[in-house]
Structure 1
Amino acid sequence: MTKNLLIELGLEEMPAYIVSPAMEQLRDRLIAFLRENRLTFDRVEAFSTPRRLAVRVSHLADKQEDLTEDFKGPAKKIALNADGSFTKAAEGFVRGKGLTTDAITFREVNGEEYVYVTKEEVGQPVETVLAGLAEVLKSLTFPVTMRWAGNSFQYIRPVHTLAVLLDDIALDLEFLDISSSRVSRGHRFLGHEITLTSADSYEDQLREVYVIANPNERVNRIVDQIHALEVKHDVKVEIDEELLNEVLNLVEYPTAFLGQFDQRYLAVPEEVLVTSMKNHQRYFVVRDQDGKLLPYFVSVRNGNDQHLENVIKGNQKVLVARLEDAEFFWREDQKLQIADLVERLKSVTFHEKIGSLTEHMARTKAIAEVLVDMANVSAEDAASVARAADIYKFDLLTGMVGEFDELQGVLGEKYARLAGESDAVATAIREHYMPTSADGKLPDTVPGAVLAIADKLDTLLSFFSVGLIPSGSNDPYALRRATAGIVRILDKFGWNLSLKDLVDKLYALKLPSLSYANKADVMAFLKARIEKMFDTAVPKDIIAAVLAGDNFVVRDLIDSGNALLEASKTDNYKPSVESLARVFNLAKKAPAAVTVTPELFENDQEKLLHEAVEQLDLTDRADEQVEALFALSSVINDFFDNTMVMVENEAVKNNRLALLASLTAKAGQVAQFDQLATK
């Protein structure tokens, strides 16, 4: 016989971004709890609103499965004394299993007898097992927590109710200072407390008190209502997924409505209007059938459609107040001069340990000049980079960016165009912020890409130089995101420049405002970001071997990892890697100043290996490079079969080590082969 289980935790309003992850976490931890306790079930449904987290388990077994498990212990010769009594080893073994020596039997395994015991555990009733549910609730983790009342325990928000129903039976459970009951709460204003009658009636009972507990039903209702408004008013509403998910977790009973604002505000840049609506007010943007922005918005009320006209008026009033500010700043900013704003940046601090924004921009320009040279950027693009680097932070001092800081760069582009700057310069000002997230959009233009890399490189090197290095998950200055942007942009534009060479040149710069430091940490940080770019199918040993190599061109590293992954599926991978690994291990002993002298060769195998290394060309695709290296396996093996490297003759020994080092100097461009696992 099976039963349905409902667990609902009623809380104060949670932040929208926490609701869905917390719901999924509760579901996953409950599933793990049930499986760990041998309780079978059909499925687990998850529910959530801003004021509740809930799960319902369908067809939960009424008792645990019985457990029969065999345990192998010490060998018989260790388990028995000479007189046939059990040794302390045998007694300790059975005691650890909660049994006595009476349970011991002996079984033969591979010609030798061993102690075995069989432990049988009768399954407990489901009610007994579910007493541990409080630990499941306590195990939930949140990015922010709080204490309340006299509790020492921290949670996302104060807990008000806890309902645990097994079919129509309420189970007793204590969580924090709350005792479970049948009570759940309806909508804060439209509903009231209710008494849940069973696990199956949960959704229907809450719906009667204006709560849609199922987030899928709630989101579908929002989307359907928006589509109805589109049809009624002949418009198109931008249903942004991120905004939709946020709105979903702000309401318990959604009602969408259309509001409007004065046509004159459309003279303000569209980005400002969209930001005001989406980011600040959580409104959906409305356009005509051709995609042109209209003076309307769609919002979602947490409630029914009663007195909706008052709600619409209130939302319009709030939005218009923001648009009035935007219109004022837009008009006033156009009176400003870029040169004056750039001059004022001298008094704006980039970071108190690093200096002003003007100093940061000067270092960025110096880095950009190095990049332009290494990437063979055209003279025209180089000129655009130089001009953009002189002014690219000016918009931070405009009134509009002060009000809408998420539009820095975007408004800089617009103001630059209005001031007569070229399209390339204006676009670079916007693109230098890209990417704005881990997998965000990258620059499309060469000047924008160069400026973005240069700006991020100075940020990285500057913060590391003054010891502000991320540790653990702590990264207050978003240096991981900036560094990921550097390697992703280099990869997108196919600039085959070595990051090692680039960083070496940057540390050699004589900059007046800041001397770069902690170079080794910077290189390790860059490698860690490149590591994240590898396909998850590439094994860790291959990634480590590639990153430990001598090549630090982003695309080459990724391609080498993929090539080695494919090669690892072939029969000759293991012997080829082992041959090359032997070379790498011995080559480490080669004196730095010694070069290969063919006249010192004493056998044909030395000569053949030398010729093979001399002819080795690793300028083709990564898979062809790996193939060429693996083709040397027989030559390498013949060399080792016929040649003693570490001989007493110092000159001959060093010559042979130098020969091996000449091979690793080339092979190291692909990977450090002695770090590859072959077992």
Structure 2
Amino acid sequence: MSKDLLFEIGLEEIPARFIRAAMEQLQDRTSKWLEASRIAHSGVSAYATPRRLAVLVKDAAEKQEDISEEVKGPARKIALDAAGEWSKAALGFARSQGVTPEQFTFKELGGVEYIYATRNSVGVETASLLTEGLNGIVSAMTFPKNMRWGTHDFKFVRPIRWMVALFGTEVVDLEITGVKAGNVSRGHRFLGSVAVITEPSAYVESLRAQHVLVDVKEREQLILDQINKLAHEKDWTIAIKEDLLEEVLFLVETPTVLFGTFDPSFLHIPQDVLITSMREHQRYFPVLDSTGKLLPFFVTVRNGNDVSLDVIAKGNEKVLRARLSDAKFFYQEDQKLKIEDALAKLENIVYHEEMGSIGDKVRRIGQIADALSVKLGLAASTAAEVSRTAEICKFDLVTQMVYEFPELQGTMGEDYARKAGESDTVAKAIFEHYQPRFAGEAVPASEAGYVVSIADKIDTIVGCFSIGIIPTGSQDPYALRRQAAGIVQIVLEHKLSISLQEIFEIAAQVHEKSRNMKHSGTELRINLYEFFGLRVKRLLSDNVRYDVVDAVIAAGYDDVVAVVSRSRALNDAVQTQEDFKITVDSFNRVGNLAAKAQGGSVDPTLLSDDAEVKLFETWQSLHAPYYEALSARNADEALRILSGLKDAVTGFFDSVMVMAEDEKVRSNRLALLAGIDADTKVFADFSKLVW
């Protein structure tokens, strides 16, 4: 027999950003408790609104499953003493398993005889487990921030105001922080009233009757349907940002979409400013035309029904007008600030107590960017644009607009720079140097943009590493992983002819000359190389087999473009070339014997066997074109050339005794194999491939 189980925790309004994770956590903990308690069921569904977290367990068994399991005890020689009597170890094992020694059986395992006990456990009624189980689930939940209330020591995301706990039609005897569970929930704060839940299966509909949609997917779909309907009716494009939709979803229990308007004169302010103000301050969805241009309308979601929507719209319009007026004021005031005056203010803003002011950081960015321009061989005109971009790339940090909306850094810098008379290239590069801000965002398109972007990011990474701030586990307060991944992405997409260690060296030298460092020299550079190695490995793992990634990484990843090219070529060969395993086996056999070489070069006069002569000549003929292909980052061609050694290597091992008695001959043959092995390992460590 089975019954449905419902558990709802009613709370004061939970921050929207916490709700989905909390809902999923409650679902996961409930599922794990049911499994650990041996309570069969047919599924756990989770529900959430701003004021509640709930789970509904379908067809929960009314009784635990009975179990019968065999438990291994001590070995026979330990379980019995010299007189054949049960030892203390055997008697203790019997007590721990709730059996008598007469119930022991003997079984052999690995050539040793052990005693075994069969432990039977009769399942108890599920109802008797629920009080402790549900209490434990709630107590174990964790949140980014917790609260305590009243005189209670108990911590939770928000104060608990009611609970519903039903097993079938019976209320579970449960009390937390003075709140006793019952069968009464609460509806919408203004539209509904109490909702009596007669049985778990009636939960969703009972709350719907009180103007609460507890099903998250249903609520989200209703919001999207209303937005899409409005967009179709008005011929609008309503920009739906996923994180904003997620937030709105968990701010409402009964969603109703409505729209309002604002004064078109505000459209003279940059579009990004208006959109950011609407989204961040008011949680509004902006309205665009078919070309992506902002229209003087906004869309919002009301937590209620469609009564008096015109009044609600007017109230929202009034609030938005004040917000946009502030933005207009900030925008106009910022344009009075000269770039040189803004740069002077950066000297008074501490970037980090051990790395100086933001002004100090800007100077380091400039020095790194100039050195990168030289290393990359940029034209003089482009190098000048790089220098100017680096010099003013952070000036907008002291503007009122960026102070109000930090996410507009770069965006406002581009706009204000143009208005101040800077070239379009420099202005655009100010915006681009923050890219990519997140995974999947485009990298800077211009040379000035990507050079300054690399300089800014590597300055931050080297600076943090130099004072011991290195990401560990989930801790990465300065987003160093993201910034390292950004550098790797820029180098790859623009196919830059610069190695990671050259970038490290430029930045490390700038830091070492300008400030005292706790960690520098070889230690710093090794840590940086290993840190970037993990970023490169993650990049490769998106499209390449794990063993191929390991193989090419082992050969080095200093040249990002080259290692990506090698990984793709090797991955393709492993997956599409039927006889490639034979090639790999021949390389691995070479490597195994090459490990015994004592150094030295090959003496052609000591090569006597036809097979070893052929191998030497084949290797010599392929050596130069192989390295030319590698130098050109043409990994497909390099691997094709390298694979040309297969037949000669196979013939060599079929005909030649490598470990000859003559020491000179033996050393010469090992030197030949060592040379070939050195060439293969420039491409990959083929021994890491898994077949």
TM-score by length of 1: 0.87
Residue identity in the other structure for 2:405: F
Residue equivalent to 2:537: 531
**What corresponds to 2:681 in structure 1?**
668
Q: Relative to structure 2, which stretch is displaced further, 168-177 or 501-510?
A: 501-510
Deviation at 1:341, TM superposition (A): 3.0
Aligned equivalents of 2:121, 2:569: Cα separation in 1: 51
Q: Which shows bigger deviation, 377-386 or 392-401?
A: 377-386
Residue 417, structure 1, aligned to residue 418, structure 2: yes
Letter of the structure 2 residue corresponding to residue 667 of structure 1? T
* Residue ranges of structure 1 left out of the alignment (5+ in a row): none
Contact 2:186 2:194 (8 Å CA) reproduced:
yes
The total of aligned residue pairs comes to: 674
Question: Where does the alignment leave 5 or more consecutive residues of structure 2 unmatched?
Answer: none
Contact 2:382 2:448 in 1 (8 A): yes
Do the aligned partners of residues 17 and 611 (structure 1) sit closer, same or farther apart at CA in structure 2, a change above 3 Å counting? farther
How far, CA to CA, are the matches of 2:573 and 2:88 in structure 1? 52
Q: Is this contact kept in 2: 1:574–1:678, CA < 8 A?
A: no
Specify whether residues 576 and 287 from structure 1 end up closer, same or farther in structure 2 by C-alpha distance, changes over 3 A only: closer
Offset at 1:274? 0.4
Contact 1:12 1:160 in 2 (8 A): yes
Q: Distance in 1 between matches of 2:584 and 2:107?
A: 43
Q: Residue 38 of structure 1 aligns with which residue?
A: 38
Separation in 2 of the partners of 1:87 and 1:627?
70
Any conservation in 2 of the 1:551–1:670 contact (CA below 8 Å)?
no
Q: CA, structure 1 residues 234+581, in 2 after alignment: closer, same or farther (shift >3 Å)?
A: closer
Q: CA deviation at 1:340?
A: 3.8
Within the alignment, does 1:65 sit opposite 2:65 as a pair? yes
Q: Give the Cα separation in 2 of the matches to 1:600 and 1:142.
A: 75
Partners of 1:426 and 1:612 lie apart in 2 by 56
* Matched-pair contact (CA < 8 Å) for 2:602–2:669: no
Matches within 5 A, 1:274-313: 274-288=275-289, 291-313=292-314
Structure 2 matches for 1:2-81, cutoff 5 A? 2-71=2-71
What does residue range 158-557 of structure 1 map to in structure 2 within 5 Å? 158-175=159-176, 177-230=178-231, 233-288=234-289, 291-377=292-378, 381-508=382-509, 512-514=513-515, 517=520, 518-535=524-541, 543-557=549-563
Q: Which has the higher helix share?
A: 2
Distance 1:581 1:371, change over 3 A: farther
Deviations 1:590-623 (A, max 9, x none): 88xx652526957658766655554342536546
Q: Deviation digits for residues 535-563 of structure 1, max 9, x if unmatched?
A: 36866665445334334222433454455
* C-alpha deviation, 1:252, in angstroms: 1.6
CA displacement 1:107-140 (0-9 Å, x = unmatched): 5679886644443333332223434232222332
Percent identity over the alignment is 43
- Distance in 1 between residues matched to 2:11 and 2:92, nearest whole Å: 48
| Residues 351 and 114 of structure 1, relative CA distance in 2, 3 Å threshold | closer
Q: How far did residue 507 of structure 1 move?
A: 3.4
Letter aligned with residue 24 of structure 1: E
Counterpart-to-counterpart distance in 2, 1:385 and 1:308: 53
Q: CA deviation at 1:664?
A: 4.9
Task: Answer yes or no: is 1:596 the counterpart of 2:601.
Answer: yes
Q: CA deviation at 1:271?
A: 0.7
Separation in structure 2 between the aligned mates of residue 465 and residue 459 of structure 1, nearest angstrom: 10
Q: Does the Cα contact within 8 Å between 1:222 and 1:256 map onto a contact in 2? A: yes
Q: CA deviation digits over 1:566-604, x for unaligned, max 9?
A: 66678988887677567668877888xx65252695765
Once superposed, what is the RMSD of the aligned Cα atoms? Answer: 3.8
Would the aligned equivalents of 1:601 and 1:607 in 2 still touch at CA under 8 Å?
Answer: no
Deviates more, 1:549-558 or 1:318-327: 549-558
Q: Say which is worse superposed, 17-26 or 379-388, in terms of deviation.
A: 379-388
- The Cα of 1:528 is off from its aligned counterpart by 1.9
Q: Which moved more, 1:218-227 or 1:579-588?
A: 579-588
1:143 is aligned to: 144
User: Matched residue of 2:541: which SS?
Assistant: coil
Q: Per-residue deviation at 1:94?
A: 5.4
Q: Distance in 2 between matches of 1:502 and 1:662?
A: 31
CA contact under 8 A between 1:363 and 1:511: conserved in structure 2?
A: no
How many angstroms does 1:270 deviate by? Answer: 0.8
Distance 2:581 2:464 in 1: 43
* CA distance, structure 1, for counterparts of residue 581 and residue 134 of structure 2: 50
Give the Å deviation of 1:85: 4.6
Q: 1:404 to 1:506 in 2, by over 3 A?
A: closer
2:657 pairs with 1:642: yes
Looking at structure 1, the residues matched to 103 and 529 of structure 2 have their Cα atoms a distance apart, in angstroms, of 60
Work out whether residues 3 and 59 of structure 2, in 8 Å CA contact, stay in contact via their aligned partners in 1: yes
Provide the rounded CA distance (Å) in 1 between the counterparts of 2:226 and 2:179. Answer: 38
